[in-house]
Structure 1
Amino acid sequence: MTVTAAMVKELREKTGAGMMDCKKALAETNGDMEAAIDWLRAKGIAKADKKSGRTAAEGLIGITGSDNKAVVVEINSETDFVARNEAFQDLVRGVAEVAMGTDGSVEAVAAANYPATGKSVQDTVTDAVATIGENINLRRSAMLSVDDGVVASYIHNGVADGLGRLGVLVALKSTGDKAALNAIGRQVAMHVAATNPLAVRAEEVDAAVAERERNVFIEQSRESGKPDNIIEKMVEGRMRKFFEEVALLSQAFVINPDLTVAAAVKEAEATVGAPIEVVGMVRLMLGEGVEKEAGDFAAEVAAAAKG
């Protein structure tokens, strides 16, 4: 029997499964709609994909690494309850370990082989949706590495070793003592967790972000009624302050506010025994940027009661 586009569309609407999965299901069942639905359910595809539209803003951040290389991944779930599930925690750990063998991009991690299943990470995550019963997705990942030095890490609100709600990596380049270097690196990572800097250095702040701030300062300064040359000086002063506040190295160090982060790192060189350069940072907060749906609790209860 020929599988038509209309049949694929109907099955997709009934199950929420992907177009190619629907086409395959119909081909496997000789176009029998009910049998195709059962085929998708048996494969776990319909159950998984039906949940794919539900907001997943909970879950876990996972970090793993060696001395000079580390990765951080974010895998989301719908509820915090799932984040306490051992199977889910094992999945996050496993994906982080797989990520170590990639360039750290989410595309590369998703396509990488997951040894425990023999499938890709993406397919393994999709299978977990059907098993765990919630929408789960690999949302973000990143890697930092240095030729000589350490990549220090910090997990905030940890639920298990290397797992929590906020993860930070800080890459330090140095030929000095690795243990001492990791100690100052962890302190800087804790600082990054607390202050969320936009970049390591002022010149690395995104140009579009800086321009937007400059335009706001110009408009605010114009309200003063002062001449353009004075306004220009006012704006430059405010931009200097802006960069001091958002660039990691110029921020007041949370562990010792009498020092900037740059000064604290410089001071640590005496213990490390060599110059230290902060070459990178990554900060992932769970659910950051995900727009959570405002749920109607009464409606949810009513829907659950109807089955």
Structure 2
Amino acid sequence: MKLRRKTGYSRKALLQFGIDLSWAKAAKLSNRQTSQGLVTVKTAGKVAAIVELSCETDFVARGEPFKQLLASLVTAALEHVKRAPAQQSDKISTQTFDVDSVKTADGKSLKEVISMGIGKLGENISAKRIKAFWAPQDSEFYNGSHPKDGLQDIPMGRFVSLLAMNRKKSEGQFLTERLADQLCQHIIGMRSESLGTSVDPNEAKKQTETSKNADGQDELNEFFQGQATQMDAEIDKD
């Protein structure tokens, strides 16, 4: 019972899923900080899932076993979203899940899958967040990551972006997939600090005015100055 309180995993679960950890080692791992890791996003039309998985070291985070673990988690999360009741809205709808509520195809909870990863990799691993997304009506999701890493069709990186777009596949000079990919990279490059509703225009003006330093330079928007990219030019023509 003492180990269950510290780790969230029972001795039966540790043994059943092949985790070669003693009770004392499992408790010790649960107290270690998980400051490294990756985040991934997976989409399927009007639904999407994002999972952020943390570990102790960058060495483990960059390894194939950790990426495979993350891929299995986001795949299970996306399948869970597909089975959940669809949320109809004119905006992107979101919902947060915990590691106990989401199951893999063979019936394991994500907590059990993570516990297997702890045993294999020998580091404390935790799912920081598991979020589901539903696109607005007549829109579909597209995604991106930076740096571009991952496994097959599952992007992973330090940052990910999710874009809901209502656009025909062949509309305009850009293919929709290409346009969406570049927009997702631009979103990551904007260095957003929060996700939510748009800022009030008057409030945005105040923020811009207060962001100017003593030399009159606009530090807040300096990142966006410069010539338009080729993509920007093509969009302006449409």
Q: CA deviation at 1:153?
A: 1.2
Deviates more, 1:66-75 or 1:169-178: 169-178
Whole-Å Cα distance in 1 between the matches of residues 237 and 48 of structure 2? 22
2:68 aligned to which of 90, 94, 108: 90
**Alignment CA distance shift 1:52-1:253 (3 Å):** same
**Aligned position for 2:182:** 187
1:252-283 Cα offsets, whole Å, 9 max, x none, are 99597559x9xx5993793xxxxxxxxxxxxx
Q: CA deviation at 1:133?
A: 0.5
One-letter code of the match for 2:31?
G
Q: CA deviation at 1:43?
A: 6.6
1:115 aligned to which of 105, 113, 119: 105
Deviates more, 1:61-70 or 1:103-112: 103-112
**Aligned position for 1:51:** 29
**Alignment CA distance shift 1:266-1:85 (3 Å):** closer
Q: CA deviation at 1:203?
A: 3.7
**Aligned position for 2:116:** 127
One-letter code of the match for 1:112?
V
Q: Which runs of 5 or more structure 2 residues have no equivalent in the other structure?
A: 13-18, 82-93, 212-220
Q: Identity of counterpart residues, as a percentage? A: 20
**Structure 1 segment 23-62 matched on structure 2, within 5 A:** 45-62=23-40
**Alignment CA distance shift 1:173-1:155 (3 Å):** same
Secondary structure in 2 aligned to 1:202?
coil
1:160 aligned to which of 150, 170, 187: 150
**Alignment CA distance shift 1:61-1:138 (3 Å):** same
Runs of 4+ in 1 over 6 A off after TM superposition: none
Whole-Å Cα distance in 2 between the matches of residues 53 and 258 of structure 1? 48
1:139-195 Cα offsets, whole Å, 9 max, x none, are 123333324233221111233331222111111233563773332222222122112
Aligned residues: 200
Aligned residues: CA RMSD: 4.0
Asked if residue 149 in structure 1 is aligned to residue 139 in structure 2, the reply is: yes
Q: CA deviation at 1:127?
A: 2.6
Asked if residue 201 in structure 1 is aligned to residue 198 in structure 2, the reply is: yes
Larger radius of gyration: 1
One-letter code of the match for 1:156?
H
Q: Which runs of 5 or more structure 1 residues have no equivalent in the other structure?
A: 1-7, 29-40, 205-209, 211-235, 244-250, 271-307
**Structure 1 segment 1-307 matched on structure 2, within 5 A:** 12=2, 17-19=3-5, 45-103=23-81, 105-108=95-98, 110-115=100-105, 118-146=107-135, 147-161=137-151, 162-175=155-168, 177=170, 180-197=175-192, 198=194, 199=196, 201-203=198-200, 237-239=205-207, 258=228, 267=235, 270=238
Whole-Å Cα distance in 1 between the matches of residues 143 and 101 of structure 2? 25
Q: CA deviation at 1:105?
A: 4.2
1:63–1:70 Cα contact (<8 Å) kept: yes
One-letter code of the match for 1:153?
N
Whole-Å Cα distance in 2 between the matches of residues 268 and 172 of structure 1? 17
